[in-house]
Amino acid sequence: MKRVAVMTSGGDAPGMNAAIRAVVRAGLEYGVEVYGIRQAYTGLLAGDIELLTSREVSGILQRGGTILQTARNEEFKTRQGQQRGLRRLNERGIEGLVVIGGDGSLRGAMALHNLGIPVVGIPGSIDNDIWGTNMSIGVDTALNIILDSLDRIRDTATSHQRAFLIEVMGRNCGYLALMSGILGGAEIVVTPEKATSMDEVAAALEDSYVRGKTHAVAVIAEGAPFTTSELAAYLDKKESVGFEIRLSILGHIQRGGSPTAFDRLLASRMGVRALEALQEGQSGVMVGLQGREIKTVSLEEVTTKTRQINESFYELARILSR
């Protein structure tokens, strides 16, 4: 294989640039030209594909976002769109593709693999909802940003004896909420996966008030059974909670910023391994962190299985919140 392409797709994640750089530098090692596809499947359909030189990926290791930009594209979900994408790759003599993105993007990668072009995926999403890898690129950075925000909010919450409802990202996956709840010392965590009522949140906050805590924190995932605003309105009416209620939606701050050491290392290892896998003739696979090793796992499994949160973390969160 002499010519491969790389794209970043779906929600951006800190560390995507480190992965692009690693693919390009591994290409230099193995004598493979690496082309960058701008704006994911949208750029692929438009033929927006340019050679990436080693210098073009200089100085991007520490940068958040993605220099190739990203996009969401409905047309690529159709068979005709995918065939057009394949034609664009063939026109440019591209023999293999690396797709860095979330589970949707990896479904797109799988579709191209099924049409016959070698494809390797790299898991990039702050949600940590991708099956087949312990961690996806960007998760560690997002978690650290959330923790930094929680620590700051705690300062003002204590000063005013308030309870804060903090909404974190995760439409379908509560990993960020649960882990930041444990590591940030939350009183209660609400995730999309586990049924929790507004009454249970009220009880947890009230309990901390009664036990003399100077403040309380509830971490609510974006995809929780109720919105943070609904919860705030509900708690405001319940005088028994004790604390005055404030809410804070962290939003896209969680997706920006320089990747942590962990994410730089993960992305660098995955980028090199993805290029190597293509060179070995592998296709229809994703590189994933399993134990301490970067291994390949079939995209068929990745796109059909759902990554579950380790149940014991819920118990850990409960025990530590006393």
Chain contacts with ligand ADP (rule: CB under 6 A): 9-11, 41, 72-73, 76-77, 101-105, 107-108, 111, 125
Name the residue among 312, 13, 15 with its Cα closest to residue 178: 312
Closest approach of ligand ADP to the CB of residue 9, in Å: 5
Residue 108's binding partner, choosing from ligand ADP, ligand F6P, none, with beta-carbon cut-off 5 to 8 A by kind? ligand ADP
Binding-site partner at residue 117 among ligand F6P, ligand ADP, none, CB < 5 to 8 Å by type:
none
d(CA 147, CA 124): 20
Which residue's CB is nearer to ligand F6P, number 27 or number 101?
Answer: 101
To the query of whether residue 155 is one of the catalytic residues in this protein, the response is: no
DSSP of 141-204: HHHHHHHHHHHHHHHHHHHHTEEEEEEE--SS--HHHHHHHHHTT-SEEE-SSS---HHHHHHH
Smallest separation (angstroms) from ligand ADP to the CB of 124: 8
Based on CB atoms, which residue is closest to ligand F6P, 12 or 33?
A: 12
Q: Tell me which residues touch ligand F6P (CB under 6 A).
A: 11, 102, 125-127, 169-171, 222, 255
Identify whether the C-beta of residue 26 lies closer than 8 Å to the C-beta of residue 276. Answer: yes
73 binds, among ligand ADP, ligand F6P, none (CB under 5 to 8 A by kind): ligand ADP
Shortest approach of ligand F6P to residue 212 CB, angstroms? Answer: 35
Coil vs helix vs strand at 299: helix
Q: Which CB atom, from 81 or from 124, has the smaller least distance to ligand F6P?
A: 124
Which of ligand F6P, ligand ADP, none lies near 126, with the C-beta cut-off 5 to 8 A by kind? Answer: ligand F6P
DSSP 117: -
Q: Cβ closer to ligand F6P: 26 or 250?
A: 250
Nearer to ligand ADP, 279 or 283 (CB): 283
> Least distance to ligand F6P from the beta carbon of 10, Å?
6
- Spatial separation of the C-alpha atoms in residues 83 and 85, rounded to whole Å: 5
Query: In the beta sheet, which residues pair with residue 216?
Result: 163
Q: Residues 6 or more apart from 120 whose CB is under 8 A from it?
A: 96, 97, 98, 99, 109, 274, 275, 277, 278, 282, 283, 285, 286, 287, 296
* From 12, 103, 127, 129, active-site residue: 127
Whose Cβ is closer to ligand F6P: residue 169's or residue 205's? 169
Element spanning 246, H or E: strand 244-249
CB of 44 to ligand ADP, least distance (A): 9
Q: DSSP assignment, residue 319?
A: H
Amino acid residing at 308: Q
- C-alpha 206/C-alpha 250 separation (Å) is 24
Q: Which does 273 bind (CB under 5 to 8 A by kind): ligand ADP, ligand F6P, none?
A: none
d(CA 215, CA 248): 15
CB-based contact 146:176 (threshold 8 Å): yes
CB of 12 to ligand ADP, least distance (A): 9
Supply the residues annotated as catalytic: 127
